[in-house]
């Protein structure tokens, strides 16, 4: 019998890419818990699974549950004997967190606490992998890339709620011996991403001939920048971390003596918002009409730059499989062939 893994938020963007990677590269039986809201839906799941044979599809099951509520006996009966927990379920849009911060506290802190509390009683659990974000470290000055154990400097409710989840996970390892791994990821892009995100939203607007507003600094001359990483590379990195946990623990650099492992998953390349729009225009063939606007100084909680140091994971030989340019070209053509994923 195959080992079981639990993926929370499996109908979400990164979650369904991770499940696809697990289907392609392991024999795990995969159980997903998802509340199936705006960010996680069965259409994404079914679209991803449509090319698999029936025996492969049967390796995946979905349980409808909102983790803000404790895991009940019925759900517990379906998720016993779990080998790995991959906790991706989260509310993740900064603008939404600014408009409604308490939802993010419940979704990202309370829900995480409920899952941690359940997981500490799983007898065969080898890893609890908590997906976090580069945003917990706050804005990165030019030429500064944050290491795993640098201090938090959250600037909006979303990043603060993810930092809160991290602290809970660390506490559960220290207190109960829960085998925790924390990963920080950067700006992830890929197939079936929610259309409100920058890349699909920009393509949708270019297709309609609309002007693209490029977020920049107060001078309207310096666009905000991010380090981008293809979603499949994130899935590869997560499994690399799980498979090399002991080696990474021996190499980790922290001065606090923490028991758990934190690993940054770095972006493949730093690009500013204008460069991203130009790439989308190039690969789609749609003309780019843009304007630089002062967004960051006028809206507290939005940072101009994030950056992570990827020395730890790269020290064991991990690197990106896909270049940014090749990934973007592939993705833009995919969206144009699947235009339903550009519609709100």
Q: So what's the pLDDT on residue 41? A: 82
Q: Domain 4-188+227-264 classified CATH 3.90.1150.150?
A: no
- Give the torsion sign (CA, 193, 197, 203, 204): positive
pLDDT recorded at residue 80 = 85
318-334 per-position pLDDT tens digit: 999 988 999 999 999 99
Query: Given a cut of 80, is residue 252 above it in pLDDT?
Result: no
- Of 75-89, 99-113, 242-256, the range with the lowest mean pLDDT is 242-256
224 confidence band (pLDDT: 50, 70, 90) = confident
Answer yes or no: is pLDDT of 338 > 80.
yes
pLDDT at 298 over 60: no
Q: Which of 66-80, 171-185, 242-256, 294-308 has the lowest mean pLDDT?
A: 294-308
Q: How confident is residue 297, by pLDDT bands cut at 50, 70 and 90? A: low
What does the pLDDT look like over 114-163, one tens digit per residue? 999 999 999 999 999 999 999 999 999 989 999 999 999 999 999 999 99
Span 224-247, mean pLDDT?
95
Task: Specify the domain boundaries for CATH 3.40.50.720 within the chain.
Answer: 4-188+227-264
Quick check: 3 pLDDT over 70?
Answer: yes
pLDDT surpassing 90 at residue 225: no
Lowest mean pLDDT among 2-16, 167-181, 244-258: 244-258
Q: In which residue ranges of the chain is CATH 3.90.25.10 found?
A: 194-225+271-305+322-342
Give buried/exposed letters for 290-314 (b at 16+ CB in 10 A, else e).
Answer: bebeebbeeeebbbbbbbbbbebbe
Task: State the catalytic residues.
Answer: 134-135, 158
In the prediction, which pLDDT does 218 show? 82
Which has more confidence, 74 or 18?
A: 18
Percent of the chain residues topping a pLDDT of 90: 78
Specify whether the CB–CB gap between 164 and 109 falls below 8 A.
yes
Model pLDDT, residue 300:
65
pLDDT averaged over every residue in the chain: 92
CB 14 within 8 A of CB 131: yes
Of 26, 62, 31, 30, the C-alpha closest to 45 is 62
Read out DSSP for 89-144? -----HHHHHH-HHHHHIIIIIHHHHHHHHHTT-TT--EEEEEEEGGGG-PPPTT-
pLDDT of residue 343: 81
pLDDT for residue 317 is more than 70: yes
Please give the biggest Cα pair distance in the chain.
61
Least confident piece of the model among 20-29, 69-78, 211-220, 245-254: 245-254
pTM for the predicted model, two decimal places: 0.95
- Specify the CATH number for 194-225+271-305+322-342; select among 1.10.3720.10, 3.30.70.270, 1.10.287.70, 3.90.25.10: 3.90.25.10
The SS3 call for residue 342 is helix
pLDDT of residue 78: 87
Over residues 174-186, the mean pLDDT reads 96
């Amino acid at each position: 019998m195959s080992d079981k893994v639990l993926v929370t938020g499996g109908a979400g963007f990164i979650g369904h890419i991770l499940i696809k990677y697990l289907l392609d590269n392991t024999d795990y039986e995969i159980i997903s818990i998802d509340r199936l809201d705006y960010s996680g839906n069965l259409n994404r799941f079914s679209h991803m699974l449509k090319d698999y044979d029936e025996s492969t599809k049967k390796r995946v099951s979905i349980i409808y549950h909102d983790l803000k509520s404790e895991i009940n006996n019925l759900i517990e009966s379906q998720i016993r004997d779990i080998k790995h927990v991959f906790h991706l379920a989260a509310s993740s849009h900064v603008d939404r967190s600014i408009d409604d911060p308490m939802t993010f506290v419940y979704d990202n802190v309370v829900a995480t606490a409920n899952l941690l509390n359940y997981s500490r009683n799983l007898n065969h659990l080898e890893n609890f992998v908590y997906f976090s974000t580069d945003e917990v470290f706050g804005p990165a000055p030019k030429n500064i890339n944050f290491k795993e154990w640098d201090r938090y400097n959250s600037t909006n409710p979303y990043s603060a709620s993810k930092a809160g989840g991290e602290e809970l996970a660390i506490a559960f390892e220290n207190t109960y011996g829960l085998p925790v791994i924390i990963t920080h990821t950067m700006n992830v892009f890929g197939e079936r991403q929610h259309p409100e995100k920058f890349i699909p939203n920009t393509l949708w607007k270019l297709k309609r001939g609309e002007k693209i507003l490029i977020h920049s600094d107060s001078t309207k001359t310096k666009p905000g920048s991010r380090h981008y990483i293809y979603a499949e590379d994130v899935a590869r990195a997560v499994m690399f971390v799980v498979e090399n946990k002991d080696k990474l623990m021996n190499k980790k650099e922290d001065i606090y003596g923490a028991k758990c492992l934190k690993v940054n998953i770095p972006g493949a390349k730093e690009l500013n918002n204008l460069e991203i729009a130009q790439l989308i225009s190039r690969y789609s063939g749609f003309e780019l009409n843009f304007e630089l606007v002062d967004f960051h100084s006028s809206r507290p909680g939005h940072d101009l730059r994030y950056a992570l140091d990827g020395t730890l994971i790269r020290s064991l030989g991990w690197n990106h499989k896909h270049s940014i340019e090749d990934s973007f070209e592939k993705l833009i053509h995919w969206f144009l062939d699947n235009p339903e994923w550009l519609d709100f």
